[in-house]
């Protein structure tokens, strides 16, 4: 490969990307990062209104596909709705458990979480393998809780919790990343994962400042992440900046998992 400048390596101007859950809390910034680097982006999700901030800026470069990624037939329909060739897939969509407590686990709720967290990204990766005719990049969004267990001491007696199935799906996704990286290598398809740490939604700590401080105390960087701080890692893995990187899980967690 001819040597290129950093600006040339990160340019996604001729690329087509697919981002599941690309209008959500972190997904919106992932979509924004790809658009800023020049890609055409297909956002797959259920609420088109969430993408309006990007549509007003990028117009023809962003398209929305309303798909329920927990539904087998709708996921299969993506094969026809997406363009013949794609270059980038970000598996970000996830159905959160309604109940974070093991003692109150409900079968159907857990099933939906496992479908969205494991089966859906695995099936979408299968579709991507067929459509990445000239190679490409798949990025799976895992979590720090796919690497370490939650520290339940920080929840005190608040009634808050952290669902076992959440960490289980994210750990599985990291393993799937390694499997797909090996399978994809002969096709020049790179597969990597990003494991975000605490990136809190607006209002998450209302009335829970003590919990925010508990989180901060356990992080070497001593702060909660800003959503835009995922953008650099997304563009790195999506672009030619990382042509020799595959099968890796990059933690973007303020240092949470190094202690």
Q: Has residue 228 been placed in a domain? A: yes
Total domains in the fold of the chain: 1
- Whether 236 is in a domain gets the answer yes
| Domain that includes residue 237, residue range | 6-258
DSSP H helices in the chain: 6-10, 27-36, 52-58, 72-81, 107-114, 120-131, 164-184, 209-217, 231-238
Model-level pTM? 0.96
Q: Considering the domain boundaries, does residue 242 fall inside one?
A: yes
Which pLDDT value is given to residue 202? Answer: 85
Residue ranges of the chain with per-residue pLDDT less than 70: 1, 157
250 within domain boundaries: yes
Residue 116 lies in a domain: yes
Contacts of 37 (CB under 8 A, 6+ apart): 10, 11, 12, 13, 235, 238, 239
Q: How far is CA 250 from the centre of its chain?
A: 12
Q: Domain for residue 246, yes or no? A: yes
Provide the pLDDT for residue 1.
Answer: 67
Given this model, what pLDDT does residue 99 score?
87
| pLDDT of amino acid 70 | 92
Q: What is the CATH number of the domain that holds 249?
A: 3.40.50.720
193, 165, 213, 200: CA torsion to nearest 10: 60
Q: Is residue 128 part of a domain?
A: yes
Asked whether residue 87 is domain-assigned, the answer is yes
């Amino acid at each position: 490969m001819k040597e290129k400048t950093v600006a040339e390596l990160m340019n996604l101007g001729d690329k087509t990307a697919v981002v599941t859950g690309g209008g959500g809390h972190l997904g919106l910034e992932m979509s924004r990062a790809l658009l800023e680097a020049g890609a055409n982006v297909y956002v797959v999700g259920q609420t088109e209104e969430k993408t309006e901030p990007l549509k007003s800026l990028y117009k023809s470069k962003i398209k929305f596909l309303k798909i329920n990624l927990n539904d087998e037939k709708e996921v299969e329909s993506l094969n026809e709705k997406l363009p013949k060739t794609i270059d980038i897939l970000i598996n970000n969509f996830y159905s959160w458990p309604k109940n974070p407590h093991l003692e109150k686990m409900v079968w159907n709720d857990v099933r939906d979480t496992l479908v969205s967290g494991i089966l859906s990204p695995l099936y979408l990766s299968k579709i991507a393998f067929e459509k990445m005719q000239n190679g490409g990049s798949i990025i799976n969004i895992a979590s720090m809780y796919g690497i370490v267990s939650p520290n339940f001491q920080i929840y005190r007696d608040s009634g808050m919790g952290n669902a076992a199935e959440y960490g289980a799906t994210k750990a599985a996704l990291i393993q799937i990343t390694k499997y797909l990286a090996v399978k994809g290598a002969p096709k020049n398809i790179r597969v990597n994962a990003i494991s975000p740490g605490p990136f809190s939604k607006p209002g998450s700590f209302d009335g829970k400042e003590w919990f925010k401080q508990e989180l901060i105390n356990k992080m070497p960087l001593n702060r909660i992440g800003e959503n835009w701080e995922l953008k650099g890692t997304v563009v790195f893995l999506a672009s030619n900046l990382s042509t020799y990187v595959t099968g890796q899980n990059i933690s973007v967690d303020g240092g949470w998992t190094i202690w």
